[in-house]
Amino acid sequence: MQCYSFIKTMMILFNFLIFLCGVALLAVGIWVSIDGSSFLKIFGPLSSSAMQFVNVGYFLIAAGAVLFALGFLGCYGAHTENKCALMMFFFIILIIFIAEVAAAVVALVYTTMAEQFLRLLIVPTIKKDYGSQKDFTQVWNSTMERLKCCGFNNYTDFEDSPYLTENNVFPPYCCFDEVNGTVTEPCTKKAADDQAVQGCFKQLLNDIRTNAVTVGGVAAGIGGLELAAMIVSMYLYCNLE
């Protein structure tokens, strides 16, 4: 009986924290959706890069709503010993867990397919908007500076772009010399070809592989918490009268 009471208490506390996280994400998501400009001013260019590709406000609202629902169901189900709430809590986490496993399998098996899809989507956008759309240009500048990369594939992605048409040179990040840590100016086609700076997609994959242990540890930790939550909720469900 003491074990049951302890698990019930921990279930309530854990889900109360999830509930608070959900409320916080909802609040931030609503703030970003209503007043995105102040969000950009506070968090800088990296936040603008996220907002260029993903509507951060809606994403945070969706994530907050899920955490809010999970926290409420877990707290309510454990506190009132409501079997229906506990079962709903279990199935929501089970669906999330299955979706994460499926996404991981797809990412491992279809990395090449994902690269082809992103290439067809992103490269034409670079050729169309880089140099003319301020936010989009800032996104790529921040990304290329941080990852020391050039375009999606390489410097050829910027051919026929407004930036090249206006300046007659490629972005300086495409002429970065890794040996000296300097940029070859001006970044002409010959200079970019000589430096052969790799694309951001490959650089991102290299960074993920380099930090595979950390990424895997975080993923395993999240999966372990989800499994523990499912086991605890089912334990409480089966021991309720």
Same domain (yes/no): 134, 106: no
**Lowest-confidence pick of 48-52, 155-159, 172-176:** 48-52
Calculate mean pLDDT across residues 123-132. Answer: 86
**Lowest-confidence pick of 21-25, 28-32, 137-141, 171-175:** 28-32
Calculate mean pLDDT across residues 42-69. Answer: 64
Highest mean pLDDT of the ranges 39-48, 66-75, 96-105: 66-75
d(CA 161, CA 127): 4
pLDDT(50) > 70? no
130 Cβ contact partners less than 8 Å away, ≥ 6 residues apart: 136, 137, 140, 158, 161, 162, 163, 171
Domain count, the chain: 2
Residue 120 in any domain: the answer is no
Same domain (yes/no): 11, 80: yes
Residue 47 in any domain: the answer is yes
Residue 221 in any domain: the answer is no
Q: Angle at which helices 212-239 and 200-210 pack, to 10 degrees?
A: 60
Residue 223 in any domain: the answer is no
Residue 57 in any domain: the answer is yes
| Residue 190 domain boundaries | 130-205
pLDDT score recorded for residue 51: 47
Residue 23 in any domain: the answer is yes
What residue type is assigned to position 232 of the chain? V
Same domain (yes/no): 103, 68: yes
Same domain (yes/no): 74, 103: yes
pLDDT confidence bin for 1, thresholds 50/70/90: low
Residue 92 in any domain: the answer is yes
Same domain (yes/no): 26, 100: yes
pLDDT(52) > 70? no
Same domain (yes/no): 72, 158: no
**CA-closest candidate to residue 200, choices 115, 125, 104, 133:** 115
pLDDT confidence bin for 112, thresholds 50/70/90: low
**CA-closest candidate to residue 22, choices 53, 61, 57:** 61
Same domain (yes/no): 68, 40: yes
pLDDT(152) > 80? yes
Same domain (yes/no): 87, 186: no
CATH number of the domain where residue 153 is located: 1.10.1450
**Whole-Å CA distances, 3 to 7, 108, 187:** 6, 40, 68
Neighbour tally for 183: CB within 10 Å: 16
Q: What is the largest CA-CA distance in the chain?
A: 77
Neighbour tally for 216: CB within 10 Å: 11
Q: What digits encode the pLDDT tens for the residues 207-227?
A: 767 766 776 777 777 788 888
Residue 118 in any domain: the answer is no
Same domain (yes/no): 86, 8: yes
Mean pLDDT of the residues in the chain? 79
Percent share of the chain, pLDDT over 70: 84
pLDDT confidence bin for 20, thresholds 50/70/90: confident
Same domain (yes/no): 11, 99: yes
Whether 157 and 140 have beta carbons less than 8 Å apart is answered as no
Q: What digits encode the pLDDT tens for the residues 183-192?
A: 777 888 888 8
Same domain (yes/no): 14, 67: yes
Q: What digits encode the pLDDT tens for the residues 168-181?
A: 888 888 888 877 77
Same domain (yes/no): 73, 149: no
